[in-house]
Structure 1
């Protein structure tokens, strides 16, 4: 396991370096820059930016310098000082904006992952062991509906039902009376009362897909010759299913950690907008629209880093669960 772990760490370093370059280049590709966007906004309002202020902004943020110079200023600040730069639009350090939203985003990602596992694990096993039963058809139908329905539409439906029948909105994570209040048991319970909505919305498609994957993998395993031979030797069905076929079929559960940890940052920005959630998705969307390059680049870099870290965790768990993964190189 040691050589396998070392090999995975060695792959991570150049991967993150390449991702940082790609992130910075991508946000520089659209024509114009933050100053150009700001001038256009003032012009739309009938105002004009002072030439001295434009020059000051360009000097402050290094706009107009070669891209490689701007990249080195940005990445060296992150590596040596944990300085992600200054947000143009917000007028504050990017690190402060990340500190406000990143912990909640990661917590929501982990909560969504646990929700997907808790729901799809028993349903996937039941559907595989009771193939073509009434329950299997019902769960299959629900799964297809979950895969076909956009997450933002589910969020809108839940918000409508909450306002129509319960007199409360499903958006946000706290009720208006708890906004700005110190943390106590009441505020924690109010948070938990709102938290199930985004978890349900984000977990719907992932749960539906995971049920189908687990069902398919388990059906494939229980039909293999080693299972037939074990059944002929009189091994009980429970032990026969849980000891080997289920262990192999669980590989997708661990291999999805990589994309789940980062999926909420960019993939569900629209859902966060609809539900008014203070996560990283809306922040990334706004930064891309305003060409706030340091903020957008930092969020993209962190999202990619979480994906790489999640993939590493997935590989380690798969190596522990399935010896064929960690011994494959031999």
Structure 2
């Protein structure tokens, strides 16, 4: 049953991603002008002027003189062959630019996700079990502060504290000597030294939110009849808590995977710029601003794929975690 469901969902991904590619291409083309218009405007800011012949040659070179449907089908046909096209702005293959950033982005995203779960799960359980205690009030207060504090502001505060009081090297994911160096154990250690700051900054808001969700859901389960029945059978409080109510209250953690993955890639653009992170968010923003349609389109498709994959993973984990959920 589960393999049949997975296969069905994967097959449904094809028409969905096709529809997303159409919408993404049209949205990228919606603003007035195109990449060449933006390029000419930038040259004008530096008092450089292109004659009409040069403009026409560039338009033909980039394929911007063709109708939109021709440009779209050319892009899609290349995608089927694994070719994402050339970036207008960077003059490099889009696949090289995307995968260069996505490796670090996905590592940072999963590290943030693990940090969020590792902190939110035990604190949420404690807050529910010790309802209205001093610890619950402290956790609630810190959770509200975490929800109210913008990530980029927290990043600036932590950077200031790290530099002024601890002399730490903050900003970016590598020290200057390892920025363009090949991968080695020393470079990995240097990455770990820099990774904690963006993980804490990006994970604070999500952690505070999940603590509140876990507390509310667990409070709903703790007073249900099945908990009293399990307690009457002689189960210890810890075994009872982990086997039944916590297992049911975990559903929101699992169901959020579908939107957490793409949100960690694209939803922290300002924070990534503040921390000088070589991740996908700033590059995607620049591609959208410059109307670099092949690069921007590749990122939109990638984020859509992450959403679909995340929802598939969450659905499979939900049915394994909660016996009340069935695929039929």
TM-score tier, shorter chain, comes to over 0.9
What residue in structure 2 maps to residue 205 of structure 1?
205
User: Per-residue CA shift, 1:253-283, capped at 9, x if unaligned?
Assistant: 1112222221232211111111111100010
User: Per-residue CA shift, 1:89-128, capped at 9, x if unaligned?
Assistant: 1111111101211111111111111111111111111111
CA–CA separation in structure 2 for the residues paired with 1:7 and 1:324 = 21
CA–CA separation in structure 1 for the residues paired with 2:176 and 2:253 = 37
CA–CA separation in structure 1 for the residues paired with 2:85 and 2:53 = 22
CA–CA separation in structure 1 for the residues paired with 2:238 and 2:12 = 40
- Give structure 1 regions of 4+ aligned residues with deviation exceeding 4 angstroms: none
User: Per-residue CA shift, 1:210-259, capped at 9, x if unaligned?
Assistant: 11111111111111122123333443322221211111111111112222
C-alpha RMSD over aligned residues: 1.6
What residue in structure 1 maps to residue 12 of structure 2?
11
User: Per-residue CA shift, 1:41-83, capped at 9, x if unaligned?
Assistant: 122222211333322221222214222221111111111x211
List aligned pairs for 1:1-330, cutoff 5 A: 1-79=2-80, 81-327=81-327, 329=328
Further displaced range: 235-244 or 24-33: 235-244
CA–CA separation in structure 1 for the residues paired with 2:98 and 2:279 = 9
Contact 1:273 1:282 in 2 (8 A): yes
* Number of positions where the alignment pairs a residue of Structure 1 with one of Structure 2: 327
Change (3 A) 1:184 1:86: closer
CA–CA separation in structure 1 for the residues paired with 2:181 and 2:87 = 28
Contact 1:4 1:326 in 2 (8 A): no
- TM-score normalised over the length of structure 1: 0.94
| SS of 1:49 mapped into structure 2 | coil
CA–CA separation in structure 2 for the residues paired with 1:239 and 1:99 = 44
CA–CA separation in structure 1 for the residues paired with 2:25 and 2:298 = 9
CA–CA separation in structure 2 for the residues paired with 1:246 and 1:161 = 37
Further displaced range: 280-289 or 63-72: 63-72
Further displaced range: 106-115 or 53-62: 53-62
For structure 1, the 5+ residue unaligned runs are none
For structure 2, the 5+ residue unaligned runs are none
Change (3 A) 1:326 1:66: farther
Q: What is the deviation of 1:182?
A: 4.1
Q: What is the deviation of 1:130?
A: 0.7
Q: What is the deviation of 1:325?
A: 2.5
CA–CA separation in structure 2 for the residues paired with 1:40 and 1:29 = 18
CA–CA separation in structure 2 for the residues paired with 1:48 and 1:77 = 33
CA–CA separation in structure 1 for the residues paired with 2:229 and 2:173 = 53
CA–CA separation in structure 2 for the residues paired with 1:319 and 1:18 = 28
Change (3 A) 1:2 1:167: closer
| SS of 1:324 mapped into structure 2 | coil
